[in-house]
Chains A and B, each alone.
Chain A
Amino acid sequence: MPDKIKFTVDGKECQAEAGLTIYEAAKANGIYIPVLCHFEGLKPVGSCRICSVRVNGRWMAACTQPVTPGMVIENSSPEVEEYRKAIIEMLFVEGNHFCPACEKSGNCELQALAYRYQIMVPQFPYLFPKKEIEAFPKFLLEHNRCVQCQRCIRAIQTPDGKKVFAMKNRSGRVRINVDRKLAARLSDEQAQKAMDICPVGAILKKEVGFRVPIGKRKYDRQPIGSDIEEKK
């Protein structure tokens, strides 16, 4: 068995296999580091920055940074948690999120994070951007809710490796851009996968809705991250 790496998270002694990211290593020790853009099995991109931790005074994204021996990781100090909360709030004011009317409510990771961080009113002013809704044969793309996590870009590709979803523009104008021709050829399973992998209600499969009633959805029962913390 290969040697394990030793590190600490908030003072707790931890061990993990070499080659893991800080997020994965913490998870293996029953410690939850909140993530939004990250999705297991996809190459991490570190775009939301919610998983930021402080290591020896330096900020790092836990989803992209490899764990190294002797790391002293700060995961739940007041400042780390306060900064993460700010990022979640930024996402709320940067888009147009109306949870009560959203099909994803209860399954939405952004909403679940907001509950976990007990956000009542964001400290930032709402930007109320004008964004569109686009329709494709098998799904809708609700840009008002999109958080630019790039999960769809990474997960949905054609068999020959072409991207169905891609980034367009830059700065605050950045949007997910769908290749119409390729999107029309998606199977029902792929469209469902696109919807399931979307952390928010931006990608919605057509012709189905509210199959699971509100109140019985994933995060209606327990807060996000509690599955990891239960394994302690």
Chain B
Amino acid sequence: MNYKRILQEYKKDRTRLIEILKELQSREGYISEKATLSVAEELGLSRAEVEGVISFYHFLQARPLGKYVVYLNNSITAQMAGREKVALAWEREVGCGFGQTSTDGLVTLLETSCIGMNDQEPAALINGLVFTSLNPEKVKKLVGWMREGRAVEDMVEETGDGANSHELVRAMVRNNIRKTGPVVFGDYSAGQAIFKALQTTPECIIDEVKKANLLGRGGAGFPTGLKWEFCRKEKGEQHFVICNADEGEPGTFKDRVILTERPEMVFEGMAIAGYAVGANRGILYLRHEYTYLRRYLEHILKKMREQGWLGQNIAGRGFDFDIEIKMGAGAYVCGEESALIESAEGKRGEPRDRPPFPVQKGYLNLPSTVNNVETLATATQIINRGAGWFRSMGTPVSAGTKLLSVSGDCQRPGIYEVEYGLTVKELLEMVGAEDTLAVQVGGPSGNCISEAGFGRKICFSDLPTGGSIIIFNRSRDLFSVVRNFLDFFIEESCGWCVPCRAGNVLLKKKFEKIASGLGTARDLREIEAWGKIIKSMSRCGLGQTSPNPVLTTLASFRGLYESRVSQEADFISEFDLNRAVAEACAITGRKFQEEQEHA
């Protein structure tokens, strides 16, 4: 392959490294050693640095893969929807295990963290396309088609609702919008908000957003107006607006639906933010799992430029603003804003130390505001309809509406736009959940609540959430839920700091000890203490929340843990002598006999 010629296109732009690696991978099926060396030489990097980037991301591969690459999602809702049988079907039909490629080189089976399809599990990415609601029969059919050499696009038999059926998307993904609300899914005519915004001053825009009390919808809840104000006040030759479309929190899929059905509202919000902070460039950082939306989004951007809503001299007011799409490559931690910026610069997605904050030194060390998809869409509507209208909804602290992505044990999983202040009980009724044991609010990094907490409200001052709501009924084993979440954090830790990298592994070990019935009251005390250490000492939000699956279930379901541990014993050995000598016994053909005490 003529790497030189391909690389020429990228003009030695290091910020495009991930894009370059993705292109090479799409041409050759993986990133070969030769490709790595060529990229390193072209960009003036050491080979070790390029390998560092490749090995960081889940969807970049430095080893040859099959013609079809299947990434089967391993989130808890997939498990609840029969993932095990589907996984076995894949292994049986393909003839190899997960992590392997079939001997004929046709199919590679791999696992991946939540791909944002929790309401239509079990789901998988096959050569970048999404396949939902899998079962063993469908798997058999898919593998049959692979043997025939069918193109993956032609395996999509039925496309989903709304723009999922658009010719540039053609995905079998369903929106499952169960309840629309007045903001994101309310009345909207594209282009009006940016016109309106440009009639006033940036300060007025910031003021309006502040008055609306818009808090960040990604989960952290930072006041958006304040963020824009900080960013505007920073000096820099350029400012940036970055839209965080890297929703990776298991159970969150609302940004996917917003980008499918309301992309103009998001892009308009970016332009408004650009006007407010003094930026001419916007970046949509789109998670790799949503690659299937990319062509459609590019098309929307093109249309918006044609309408004069983006590009040069918008609305004839002398304001220039344009948006480019940058793709992620599979890393949960990139949802953290400084890690996202590193990744957008083509580096490993490792969080930065703060200060300086992204509003001070963000993308290319220039002032940048990073906002969630829903936040930007909401800002557009605030400009359209006014802060007063917005504040008439929700609670005094948490104004407006929130998109919830509901999955798990309920009759109607999907998207709900609700006013803040809704109680969990009300939500459970709305989604048709019965015999509920626990509700995971805010994903694994959030809070697991029991019936005692169903009267609590979904809002920033009580139960905040980026949108993820996962419901478990009484037939579920909470320990397997916690196990799944802990595995997720262990895998997704960037490995930079010790408490997150090592601490989470140790926490899981302790958890398994308790779950297996070998724990004591002391182990319960220790797991709680270790969880606090990890939360306190970790460098970024990932480690600061990763012990939550244990800590919040301990708080809500203490009895469950207590029933697994021995209250009397001081110590129960994990060491099983018989098992330890089993191999030696098998080799020597002798039977192990425990030493008898002398009479």
Q: Report which A residues bind B (CB closer than 8 A).
A: 44-50, 52, 59, 61, 64, 66, 83, 86-87, 90-91, 93-94, 123-125, 127, 147-148, 158, 160-174, 177-182
Contacts and interface: CB of A to CB of B under 8 A. Distances in A.
Given A90-B506, A180-B47, A182-B48, 5 more contacts: A44-B353, A94-B501, A125-B506, A167-B56, A179-B47
Interface string B479-518: 0000000000011111111110111011001000000000
A45 B498 CA distance: 12
Given A47-B497, A83-B537, A171-B490, A166 B526 contact: no
A161 B45 CA distance: 8
Nearest to B349: A170
A91 B505 contact: no
> Which 3 A-B pairs rank lowest in CB-CB distance, beginning with the nearest?
A174-B495, A179-B48, A166-B48
Interface secondary structure of B, over-half rule = helix
Given A49-B539, A87-B537, A90-B502, A171 B353 contact: no
Interface of B: 44-49, 51-52, 55-56, 331, 348, 350, 353, 355, 490-499, 501-503, 505-506, 509, 526, 530, 533, 536-539
A73 B509 CA distance: 34
A172 B505 contact: yes
Contacts of A123: 526
Contact of B533 (A86, A148, A181): A86
Contact of A164 (B48, B52, B353, B493): B48
A158 B49 CA distance: 13
A161 B490 CA distance: 33
Given A47-B539, A170-B56, A160 B505 contact: no
B496 A47 contact: yes
B49 A148 contact: no
Contact of B353 (A61, A124, A169): A61
Contacts of A125: 506, 509
Contact of B497 (A46, A167, A181, A182): A46
Nearest to B543: A49
B321 to A, nearest CB: 34
B296 to A, nearest CB: 31
Contacts of A171: 490-495, 501
Contacts of B539: 46-47, 49, 61
A168 B53 CA distance: 7
24 contacts: A48-B497, A49-B497, A49-B539, A83-B537, A86-B533, A87-B498, A87-B533, A87-B537, A90-B502, A123-B526, A127-B502, A147-B498, A161-B44, A162-B46, A166-B49, A166-B52, A170-B493, A171-B492, A172-B490, A173-B495, A177-B55, A178-B48, A179-B46, A182-B47
